[in-house]
Structure 1
Amino acid sequence: MGRNLYILAATLGVLALVCGILSFTNIAQQPGSPGDIRLWRTMGLGLLVVALAVALGGILSSLIEQAERRDAEQRQQKRRHR
């Protein structure tokens, strides 16, 4: 589960980077493209915040899985030791 969250966070981070780059270039001012630079910056910032939240979820998920795995191993060792 944690690995999937890391992939999602990386994808959202790349999209945030693309939005940020578009806001600082003249591409946003070309005919036919959304020209509101504030919109691109806001969208990039929003995607970055979501990406960071998803990455935090991935970290916490990995930590919980690791703790559960170690707890199960300790229980098995105690059973074998008896």
Structure 2
Amino acid sequence: MAASIGFKKPWNQGIEYYIDEFFIHPDYQGLKVGSRLMQYIEKKCQNEQLNAIILNTERGYPSELFYKNNQFTEHEGLIIMSKSIE
């Protein structure tokens, strides 16, 4: 019904948890399943004394509102960069 895949990584203020994938089956969206999973992840991170949870999402998608409703903030100074490998 729901899953999250992520990993711990160092950053300039300690260790953070990076959420690489976070998804809820469509039949369970809007039922607070995602928020409960996020609360579980946050509690685990607190227990492991991690400094932050970070993730990337696409602007304007429903996921943006979901993360903002779960107290995530946008970092204005950050950009996503990529390089195509041909």
TM-score by length of 1: 0.30
Between structures 1 and 2, the one with greater strand share: 2
TM-score by length of 2: 0.29
**Higher relative contact order structure (alpha carbons within 8 Å, sequence separation ≥ 6):** 1
Structure with higher Rg: it is: 1
Between structures 1 and 2, the one with greater helix share: 1
